[in-house]
Structure 1
């Protein structure tokens, strides 16, 4: 874990600056104390990062749970809600024990890539208002619709009435620093690879805020700065922690919310794990059941001390990867940075303009949704491109889970269409018009999904045809297919069609029962 400190330390600093406003923004959107978001960020980094086997994933409070949390706190109260968080964590551990992590592997690659691109576009669009100094929307929001009746695109229009010259200046200079650092300086001298460009951009932003506070035109308003709670004393700091009211454990609604948190948080985590592994330059594979155990442990601890629910978060994970992170040390250390900073320098943190962080996230968003990715997916054909683009549209215009659900549904439809065409399961290997002879070969696995294609091919055979059906490669044949062959044999007699079956054990013409024939061959599957 300590082998790549020269990469992981700079990456952890970048993740820290990205995570800090996200923790606060998601807590604000959830109707929870701001400190609860910071607790979740700290636990997500230190505890989950230590237990998890994900080398590049970063965990913390997730925007996808904000609406659920908001409703739960409104109906239960915060202390009772924390009981549901603890229950949700325990259920996630149970899911890990039951090996439910395998669910993540059943999402097509095209949908996962669409998820990454869709989130990249959302990050980019959501940061533009912050870059211009308009902060009506909370930091870290990923949903299309807003609680105030606005949406992602109307917010872009509204920001034109609230343009801040100071915020735009900071954004442009920060972007210039980031691009210069990445494209030029990092290739000139080793020192520029050790000191992260985002840190330099943040330092510039803090200095700008200090020197331009009283400037009439270029000052940045307090609403456009990071806003970490500032305790007056150690007692004040400790007083920010809340504890669950376990007398509410008999309340059925607490259990319903606990189950909801467990399912949604686990699904978001598994999807993020899959996406993070795809972004990993070393293509390491995260054990998903271990990840559920880590997330569950983190949620139990977070709930016990007043934190929000935790998931692995693609925004932070992708920032970690793109900043050069190599091992999970970067995720763990970012958690310690949040803890140390809120204890020691909250006043200094509150001088960081959100415009600087917007510049960092604009770069993250662009890298996730590069035009070259769209070109690559288009070149792979419609079976990859359509689920990919539907997932993106769904995420941009609804939210993460709905977008992925739409992409998955389209992916399944594409699979069914391909199975119906059956280019891989049924082949006409020979066609002799004069002799009216045909040869078809079934693949190793033939399932009910191939019923349509096989029925079509058999129906299209002309009268008086001779069909040679080769099943030597076939290992498993669904009972549905046997029924089709048995039914066709009745029609074949009327049409004078001869069927000759070639198998490993020999040949047979027009068997009385295809079921009995394949039972002898031991090829039938239920």
Structure 2
């Protein structure tokens, strides 16, 4: 009789093999995310007007702290291009990076508070046109702020070398994801920003070796400090100026940071749920708390604001990431890069990083977006363009509020138009009330009542009304009292009693 082999001794082996494959996939995904994150961390910091190390530090905190506290196993956080404009404007307003860090500390506390009161779902109440308008305006401001760097105008006069590097960077970014190049495995393996950075490093090396007169000065390249010990590290860390905590301008920046960073985070995790193979639901309130802790820690050590980022999260999924290990690996790779490869990173031209951000801004504010919003009708176009115009004319917070206000006005107007209708049959008029008749209906109600001629019969039909405000009742009662004297007969159908 043939005996079946026992399965119990074989169980550990498949588990170990699966665990190895699982971890190897996460490690490879983490390295891929690192290759995307490194140039973006450097570019976002430079564009924000702070030291490049602040951007790297944000990526490290995001991978080692936020990823472990988050409810998402695949979301990747870090400095985001969408916050560049806020940071740059805040530095100009507050006058110092330490004052800005105080605002960031408060913003992180606000995010934790939002998570504690379960405000994570509030983002779903922000109209889509307002969100698109916010992102489009950020894209426009990003392009405007970075174009001078791509033209080499940082010192006033244009630099042909810098312009050449920027044009080469744009060319790479535009063609890298085309079908013709995606046929090659090495193109698919290398992210476009990394290809731009590699080209810039190569160009810097060639210029230094063969054309020293045309080589890029350090002012036009990344300038990371050498970190060889904890003493050197402590020397480059910044701390918040807590004496600014009662400054109203600091609190205004904090509120803007908290709102925009939270919106971007919640939108990112919503997008991630759609591309996650397991379609894991991410608790929004836990995510806000994790981001808040990360931003408070970032403020204490002198890093940039942190938010969940769609591009890096999508890259993590596409590269095979399956757990939080990929985020940790990406953060550890950032640590190694600033400790071991500082000299190589310092060869990256700022023009290449500026080109990456201009391209990012273009993707946020594509002409197709404006066309599609216009084709969607006034209900979409007006809040969208109001948000864009409001942000460009004032700032992000006011612009968002303007767009939201326009959306509310359009919704109220649309609902009012459906509450009251007036129909005529000979000398009989039927005024139908539907849904809730509030004080918003007063102008239209008075207009309809003014159209009833002498000798006519007016019927008020509230059969399908859910609620009628006291103000509306008063207007109808006053009209009814005066109607007989004007030769108008008034009847009521299902009119609720006071």
Q: Distance in 1 between matches of 2:469 and 2:31?
A: 55
Please state which structure has a larger fraction of its residues in helix.
2
Q: How much has 1:202 moved relative to structure 2?
A: 1.5
Q: Which residue of 1 aligns with 2:225?
A: 229
Counterpart in 2 of 1:455?
446
CA distance in 2, matches of 1:333, 1:478: 61
1:127 to 146, 154, 157: 146
Equivalence map 1:257-336=2 (5 Å)? 260=252, 262-273=254-265, 276=268, 282=274, 287-304=283-300, 306-308=301-303, 310-312=305-307, 317=309, 319-320=311-312, 334-336=330-332
Greater CA drift, 455-464 or 111-120: 455-464
Corresponding residue pairs, total? 463
Aligned pair 1:176/2:167, yes or no?
no
| Aligned mates of 2:70, 2:327 — CA distance in 1 | 10
Instruction: Give the CA deviation at 1:212.
Output: 0.8
For 1:180 and 1:82, the matched residues in 2 are separated by 39
Q: Which among 51, 56, 60 is matched to residue 42 of structure 1?
A: 60
TM-score, normalised via structure 2 length: 0.78
Q: Cα deviations across residues 119-140 of structure 1 (Å, max 9, x unaligned)?
A: 222222222222222336xxxx
Q: Equivalent residue for 2:9?
A: none
Equivalent residue in structure 2 for 1:361, among 349, 357, 361: 357
* 1:11–1:320 Cα contact (<8 Å) kept: yes
Contact 1:84 1:255 in 2 (8 A): no
* 2:461 is the counterpart of 1:470: yes
Residues 376-417 of structure 1, C-alpha deviations (whole Å, 9 max, x = no match): 111222332122122223333443223323323433444455
Q: 1:278 to 1:235 in 2, by over 3 A?
A: closer
Distance 1:53 1:500, change over 3 A: farther
* Number of the residue aligned with 2:379: 383
* Cα separation, partners in 2 of 1:365 and 1:73, compared to 1, 3 Å: closer
Q: 8 Å contact 1:127–1:362 — kept in the other structure?
A: yes
Contact 1:49 1:59 (C-alpha < 8 Å) held by counterparts? no
Partner of 2:11: none
- Unpaired runs of at least 5, structure 1: 137-160, 504-513, 520-526
Distance of 2:444 and 2:333 partners within structure 1: 59
Q: 1:183 to 1:68 in 2, by over 3 A?
A: closer
Is 1:115–1:395's contact at 8 Å kept on the other side of the alignment? Answer: yes
Structural mapping, 1:66-77, within 5 Å? 68=90
1:461-501 per-position Cα deviation (integer Å, ceiling 9, x unaligned): 22333333333333233333333333332233333434444
Question: What are the within-5 Å matches in structure 2 for residues 506-517 of structure 1?
Answer: 517=496
TM-score of the superposition, structure 1-length normalised? 0.74
SS at match of 2:158: coil
Q: 1:468 to 1:312 in 2, by over 3 A?
A: farther
- Find the counterpart in structure 2 of residue 92 from structure 1: 111
* Paired position in structure 2 for 1:210: 205
The CA distance in 2 between the partners of 1:348 and 1:219, in whole Å, is 15
CA distance in 1, matches of 2:440, 2:269: 31
Which deviates the most, 394-403 or 324-333?
Answer: 324-333
Contact preservation (8 Å) 2:30, 2:328: no
Q: Structure 1 residues 484, 417: closer, same or farther in 2, change over 3 A?
A: same
| Structure 1 residues 173 and 90: CA distance shift in structure 2, 3 A | closer
Task: State the Cα distance separating 1:70 from its structure 2 match.
Answer: 6.8
CA RMSD of aligned residues (A): 3.8
Note if 1:51 corresponds to 2:45.
no
**Partner-residue secondary structure (3-state), 1:173:** helix
* Structure 2 partner of 1:164: 159
Q: Of 129, 138, 148, which residue of structure 2 is paired with 1:110?
A: 129
Question: Is the contact between residue 27 and residue 36 of structure 1 (CA under 8 Å) also seen in structure 2?
Answer: no
